[in-house]
Structure 1
Amino acid sequence: MDTTKLLAARYRAATDRPYLASALYALTVVPSDAVPTMGVDRHWRCYVSAGFVERTPVAELAAVWVHEVAHLLRDHHGRAELLSAADQRDRYRVNAAQDCEINDDLIADGLPLPAGRLEPRLFGLPEGQLFEAYLAALPPSPRTHDCGSGAHAQPAPWESDGRAGHTRVGTVEAEALRRHTAEAMRAHVRARGTLPGGWQRWADEVLEPTVDWRQVLAGAVREAAAWAAGAVDYTYRRPSRRSAALRGVVLPSLRRPLPRVAVVIDTSGSMGEPEIAAALAEVTGVLREVGIQGNHVTVLACDADVQAVSRVTSAGQITLSGGGGTDMRVGITAALAGRERPDIIVVLTDGHTPWPEETPSCRLVAVLIGPSAPAAPPWVETVRVG
């Protein structure tokens, strides 16, 4: 194999895109007559065909280096393991979807990929999507080369079994390489201001990972419910069983009250109904899981005034009204002024509202809907949606 040409191509890729240099040089080259072109395993070993190197120009070889390392940087094998069993079995379709995710960014970056490359447009699909989105639209087993277990997570026939003594990159080191590369990309943007959109989104996700708002919301509501339910007290309505041991003496028993919840919904004109419905469904689902439902939940539809107050057991029972200005203080005040004071108030809003000047005498959870929602005061427990 023409090792000089192969390594010259890697040098060119690392020189032209220095933010990828650490990841490119972490790859261990493994010559293989069994691999058709180039491929990677999940241990950052790059298998290379001597014939492919001989017939491919250096510029195109450099592009293939970037393509293969992109599979590993984007953790395609880890993400592939989260697919359904049926999807995992169709490794070529998974690989094709992953190639679509990578190649549109590389083409936009001016990399001369070899002929026969797969792109979203070849399947009538939009650019800029993740491979999971492309996967459902691709035909079964489309014709494509096999990039190896570093892509689709299934070992290829030409991969090393580990006994040949080839260097491998472990999970912790791989994560460090991903973070280092993402930081190098961010520095590159600050210096030169240019980076393909797909790489930019990837770097942002690595450095500032997106947390599933449903999990955060469930945790916040459960914690608030547990806090309120922990407010035990004594009651004579149900005498203690120990009273039988003391003739003529009635002892109180401990009671653990079920928390009362008020959900204040921003129904002003700036709120999107699908987002409200999704967040409300999650809130009611969490409350049902922790045993809070029925007459323990009050919903207030509010814009600049309280439009409706109702007791509900599911999101489907709620009628949203309003559509004017926004002042969630009105809804919070109305909830606290009710006959049965709530232990928890959950506010669903886009954040474009004034907030009370002081902490209310109960737990307050703000569900801020939309990416541009302004921050709530620091004393408000906040969950961001969208």
Structure 2
Amino acid sequence: MPPHPAAATGSARLDRAKLLAARYKAAEARPYLASALYALTVVPSEQVRTMAVDRYWRCYVAPAFVDATGVEELAGVWIHEAAHLLRDHHGRADRLPAADQRDRLRVNIAQDCEINDDLVTDGLRLPPGLMEPRLFDLPPGRLFEEYVRDIPASCAHTLDCGSGAHGVPAPWDLGEHGTGATAGLGPVEAEALRRQTAQAIRAHARLRGTIAAGWQRWAEEVLEPTVDWRKALTGAVREAAAWAGGAVDYTYRRPSRRTPALGGRVVLPSLRRPLPRVAVVVDTSGSMTEEDLAAALAEVSGVLREVGVGGNRVTVLACDADVHAVARVTTVDQVELAGGGGTDMTVGIRTALSSPDPPNIIVVLTDGHTPWPPEPVKARVIAALIGPDAPQPPPWTETIRIPPRP
């Protein structure tokens, strides 16, 4: 395969000794980032203005930029580009709203703001012209997803850190065509490298305590990630719905397809797979705010729709120490959140199970300060706990913790 033009252009002119000396200096100054720095594959290219990365951990370098920049500043740029990949900026950019994704330069500015305020605080020297939050009167220490909302679309920014940052393929990208020395890393190797770097940061912080706060926060999030409660709730309801739908029974309403083979003398029943029925028990005691309840109930409603449960198969019970309202609903607006007294979710669960058409799944929205049934009930119970201090429910429930709204 002929060499990729981005790899061939300007390769003879690159001062590799200077560039690699800068990487060594960066690794020596920040040893916890050494593995990430040395995992980057150098690809000379005159199509980039400075340095840029792709999602395969290739670092595209402009020879003229290396010539014009001091070793200490180059060391700072090495760390800057590695930070884009360690923080999975391209993966996070893929999850932005479509309108933001199309404005790759504004996304890149926001990402640079997330990185550079940490690097400057950490005492690193960077070339002039790099973006920092203070240039936009924004506070330091935020994630780029927060910054991107406040970066003006018309902002002048000529630098491009590449698809490894903003996620949009660049003209110089090798993509999946790199081989040999330019093969790059796959997603599994990249994730292992992130964890290894996070562990090195944690160990360095314990021994010396000289890690920038932004890097420490990043490392803790990698090693002990915050669970996305919406995904967890969706998964729990989906699993419970599959479990309920897996139950089968015999019915004569639709005879078995084997009946004709018996000449009509015997009618065989067919197996049916029932749709799950769901009850949502909402804690309306005095310790719960109506705003939190409405927000959480809206989320549960969305989860139920996503897994295909809706219509008259969902019953909502408003409950404090007694059940105040029971309704089969099709929209959140139909729910009456009555109550405001003491708390006993056992009453709501038992009321749901005593209905003529009892549920297979019960979702309990509560702050957790409530009695629970003393033993497992005849339904899958998902306890959706609102607030960080909610006590742990019985082990036979499936627990999802919902943080309070900011």
TM-score between the two structures when normalised by the length of structure 2: 0.79
Distance 1:190 1:276, change over 3 A: farther
| Counterpart selection for 1:350 from 346, 367, 378 | 367
Checking the alignment, whether the CA contact within 8 Å between 1:239 and 1:251 is kept in structure 2 is: no
Distance 1:121 1:306, change over 3 A: farther
Distance 1:284 1:76, change over 3 A: closer
For 2:150, the aligned partner's letter is: A
Distance 1:371 1:13, change over 3 A: farther
Distance 1:173 1:298, change over 3 A: closer
| Counterpart selection for 1:341 from 358, 363, 367 | 358
Partner of 1:310: 327
Q: Which moved more, 1:283-292 or 1:96-105?
A: 283-292
1:169 aligns to 2:184 (yes or no) = yes
| Counterpart selection for 1:319 from 333, 336, 339 | 336
Partner of 1:207: 223
Which string of whole-angstrom CA distances, capped at 9 and with x for unpartnered residues, describes residues 318-351 of structure 1?
Answer: 1213344433223223333445433321111233
| Counterpart selection for 2:144 from 131, 136, 143 | 131
1:147 aligns to 2:161 (yes or no) = yes
Task: Please give the residue correspondences for 1:1-386 in structure 2 after superposition, counting only pairs within 5 Å.
Answer: 3-32=16-45, 35-49=48-62, 51-53=64-66, 55-83=68-96, 87-140=100-153, 142-144=155-157, 145-156=159-170, 166-171=181-186, 172-234=188-250, 238=253, 240=255, 242=259, 256-288=273-305, 292-386=309-403
Distance 1:52 1:329, change over 3 A: same
Give the superposition deviation at 1:151. 1.9
CA–CA separation in structure 1 for the residues paired with 2:401 and 2:305: 21
For 1:142, the aligned partner's letter is: C
CA–CA separation in structure 1 for the residues paired with 2:342 and 2:206: 40
Give the superposition deviation at 1:20. 0.5
CA–CA separation in structure 2 for the residues paired with 1:261 and 1:164: 53
What runs of 5+ residues in structure 1 fail to find an aligned partner?
Answer: none
Distance 1:337 1:193, change over 3 A: farther
Which string of whole-angstrom CA distances, capped at 9 and with x for unpartnered residues, describes residues 51-72 of structure 1?
Answer: 5445544443322221111112
Checking the alignment, whether the CA contact within 8 Å between 1:268 and 1:323 is kept in structure 2 is: yes
CA–CA separation in structure 1 for the residues paired with 2:303 and 2:58: 45
Give the superposition deviation at 1:365. 1.3
The share of aligned pairs that are identical, in percent, is 69
What SS does structure 2 have at the residue aligned with 1:136? helix
Q: Which moved more, 1:304-313 or 1:92-101?
A: 304-313
CA–CA separation in structure 1 for the residues paired with 2:156 and 2:237: 49
CA–CA separation in structure 1 for the residues paired with 2:329 and 2:140: 43
What runs of 5+ residues in structure 2 fail to find an aligned partner?
Answer: 1-13
Distance 1:276 1:110, change over 3 A: farther
Checking the alignment, whether the CA contact within 8 Å between 2:318 and 2:337 is kept in structure 1 is: yes
CA–CA separation in structure 2 for the residues paired with 1:227 and 1:157: 49
Give the superposition deviation at 1:141. 5.2
What SS does structure 2 have at the residue aligned with 1:78? helix
CA–CA separation in structure 2 for the residues paired with 1:7 and 1:250: 81
CA–CA separation in structure 2 for the residues paired with 1:195 and 1:231: 54
Which string of whole-angstrom CA distances, capped at 9 and with x for unpartnered residues, describes residues 88-130 of structure 1?
Answer: 4533222212111211222232323332221123223333333
Distance 1:320 1:60, change over 3 A: same
Checking the alignment, whether the CA contact within 8 Å between 1:301 and 1:321 is kept in structure 2 is: yes
Checking the alignment, whether the CA contact within 8 Å between 1:90 and 1:141 is kept in structure 2 is: no
Q: Give the paired residue count.
A: 384
TM-score between the two structures when normalised by the length of structure 1: 0.83
